[in-house]
Amino acid sequence: MLLLLKSYTNPIISLPIMEKLQISTTQNVDIDYQLASVGDRIFAHLLDLVIKGSYILILVLLIQYTVGDVDWWFSIVCLPIYFYNLLCDLFLNGQTFGKMIMKIKVIKKDGGELSFGVCFIRWIFRIVDFLLSYGVAGLLTVIINGKGQRIGDLAAGTTVLKINAKGDLNETAYMELEEGYQPVYPEVLKLSDTDLQTIKEVVLLSERTNQYSEIGAPHPLALKTKDVVLGKLGIETKQPASEFLNTVLKDYNYYHQ
């Protein structure tokens, strides 16, 4: 399970600056992820307001043109707007359209799924974070808390991370397989999708770190992850750590293609 360990703060000022979180993954490997900044969240919120406003304007004009009685239809037209954030978080995997544009995403701090209950708690607390306080309560909580959490996030056990253009914490474990590939470890079926996503993240991180490959040494993250995976699979192997993890990824893709 993902476990929030710490956030880095600015040593010059007393208020914490949301920059990075160190997360311990399912393989007990610490990886840094960037928190969504206050600016990212504000712009995402403003973009969502523009989207909501555009939706209402377009539908009101259509109703006025076709039906004529806008007042009677207005509450029905606005109904999806009331549940916009709830439905987006639930069905778009922690993102509204504004968050997609700003490349930020809601995640659970413990790495679990964004269930309806979690999304509902975040959504209902928008009354406190935004409506009753005009956004002040949510903004101040995010700034003072320093862990990317407004009041709704604190209640739901969530936070908001910055993601890159290629993916995020749930980046696919997909790999191309050469023609005629034969699996080596059928035990990979014991691993979960989250396990494999973490393994791929470790593989990518180790490949990007040149200081170990230059001296011919295995990456410490790869070694640690290999030990954990071997324990989960209940097997032994003489394959080097990086080669073993890549084989596990290929075998996983073979059995799930």
Question: Could you report the per-residue pLDDT of 10-46, keeping only the tens digit for each?
Answer: 333 233 344 555 555 444 445 556 788 888 999 999 9
70: confidence class by pLDDT, cuts 50, 70, 90: low
What whole-number distance in Å separates Cα of residue 90 and Cα of residue 160?
A: 14
Domain boundaries, the chain: 3-162, 186-255
Question: Could you report the per-residue pLDDT of 107-152, keeping only the tens digit for each?
Answer: 887 766 789 999 999 999 999 999 898 889 998 998 888 788 999 9
- Residue 235, judged by CB atoms within 10 A of its CB (0-12, 13-18, 19+), counts as middle
Question: Could you report the per-residue pLDDT of 86-100, keeping only the tens digit for each?
Answer: 999 999 989 999 999
What whole-number distance in Å separates Cα of residue 178 and Cα of residue 138?
A: 50
* CA neighbor of 55 nearest in space, from 73, 72, 80: 80
According to DSSP, residue 5 is labeled E
